[in-house]
Amino acid sequence: MIITDIFNNSIELTDERWAHIIREHPEVEFYKEKIQEVLSLPDYVKKSKRDAEVLLYYKHYGDIFDGKYLLVVAKKGLRSFVLTCYITDIIKIGETLWEKK
């Protein structure tokens, strides 16, 4: 699956990465369809402090565990792709590249 993010970049979610995600974070299995929305209409996009080529896309959903963020982590490059996805209630500290107004 190829998804266009908020910055008009193409980001791929491969079957291999999805299998990894649901193995490590089985609670997100039911939210695969929301990944496109998180990437294209996020509430926040942060730059990773550990890797400048990694972006963290956050979108809050009231129906996920009574109000949590779905976080999609993507690696930028010649071929940009989703690294992982999980549910969180904390937005990491770091450079904000996008914030919903």
pLDDT over 90 at 87, yes or no: yes
Mean pLDDT (whole number) for 9-32 = 97
Tabulate helix, strand, coil % of the chain (nearest 5).
25, 40, 35
- In angstroms, the CA 39 to CA 34 distance is 9
User: What integer pLDDT is reported at residue 93 of this predicted model?
Assistant: 87
- For the entire predicted model, the pTM comes to 0.96
User: What integer pLDDT is reported at residue 23 of this predicted model?
Assistant: 97
For residue 75, list its beta bridge partners. 54, 81
**How does residue 94 score in pLDDT terms, banded at 50, 70 and 90?**
confident
pLDDT digit string, tens, across residues 65-84: 999 999 999 999 999 999 99
pLDDT digit string, tens, across residues 25-66: 999 999 999 999 999 999 999 999 999 999 999 999 999 999
User: What integer pLDDT is reported at residue 25 of this predicted model?
Assistant: 97
